[in-house]
Amino acid sequence: GGLMAGKRGLIMGVANNRSIAWGIAKSCANQGAELAITYQGEAFRKRVGPLAEELGAHVAGHCDVTENESVDAVFEGLRQKWGKLDFLVHAIAFSDKEELDGRYVETSRENFQRTMDISVYSLTAIAKRAESLMTEGGSILTLTYYGAEKVMPHYNVMGVAKAALEASVRYLAVDLGGSGIRVNAVSAGPIKTLAASGIGDFRYILKWNEYNSPLKRTVTIEEVGDAGLYFLSDLSRGVTGEVHHVDSGYHVVG
Candidate residues 59, 64, 128, 153; the one interacting with ligand 0WD per rule CB under 6 A: 64
Alpha-carbon distance 188 to 224, whole Å?
Answer: 7
- Cite the active site residues: 145, 155
Contact 61, 77 (CB under 8 A): yes
Q: Which residues of 38-74 are buried (b: 16+ CB within 10 A; e: fewer)?
A: bbbeeebeebbeebbeebebbbbebbebeeeeebebb
One-character DSSP codes across 215-252: TSS---HHHHHHHHHHHHSGGGTT--S-EEEESTTGGG
Q: Does 250 bind ligand 0WD (CB under 6 A)?
A: no
- Supply angle C-alpha 241, 244, 245, rounded to 5: 155
Alpha helices in 117-179 (DSSP H): 122-133, 156-177
64 marked as part of a ligand binding site: yes
175 marked as part of a ligand binding site: no
Q: Does 143 bind ligand 0WD (CB under 6 A)?
A: yes
Q: Does 92 bind ligand 0WD (CB under 6 A)?
A: yes
Q: Does 164 bind ligand 0WD (CB under 6 A)?
A: no
Candidate residues 193, 209, 213, 248; the one interacting with ligand 0WD per rule CB under 6 A: 193
Q: Does 194 bind ligand 0WD (CB under 6 A)?
A: yes
65 marked as part of a ligand binding site: yes
Q: Of the two residues 47 and 177, which places its CB atom closer to ligand 0WD in the complex?
A: 47
Please give the DSSP secondary-structure letter assigned to residue 152.
-
Q: Does 155 bind ligand 0WD (CB under 6 A)?
A: no
Alpha-carbon distance 64 to 221, whole Å?
Answer: 23
113 marked as part of a ligand binding site: no
Q: Does 240 bind ligand 0WD (CB under 6 A)?
A: no
Candidate residues 24, 36, 39, 232; the one interacting with ligand 0WD per rule CB under 6 A: 39
Number of residues counted as binding ligand 0WD (CB under 6 A) = 29
33 marked as part of a ligand binding site: no
Question: Which residues contact residue 111 at a Cβ distance below 8 angstroms, ignoring those fewer than 6 apart?
Answer: 95, 96, 98, 99, 157
192 marked as part of a ligand binding site: yes
Residues annotated in a binding site:
13, 19-20, 40, 64-65, 92, 162, 191-195
Binding-site residues for NAD(+), in ranges, read 13, 19-20, 40, 64-65, 92, 162, 191-195
Binding site for ligand 0WD (CB under 6 A): 13-15, 19-21, 39-40, 44, 48, 63-66, 91-94, 118, 143-145, 188, 190-191, 193-196
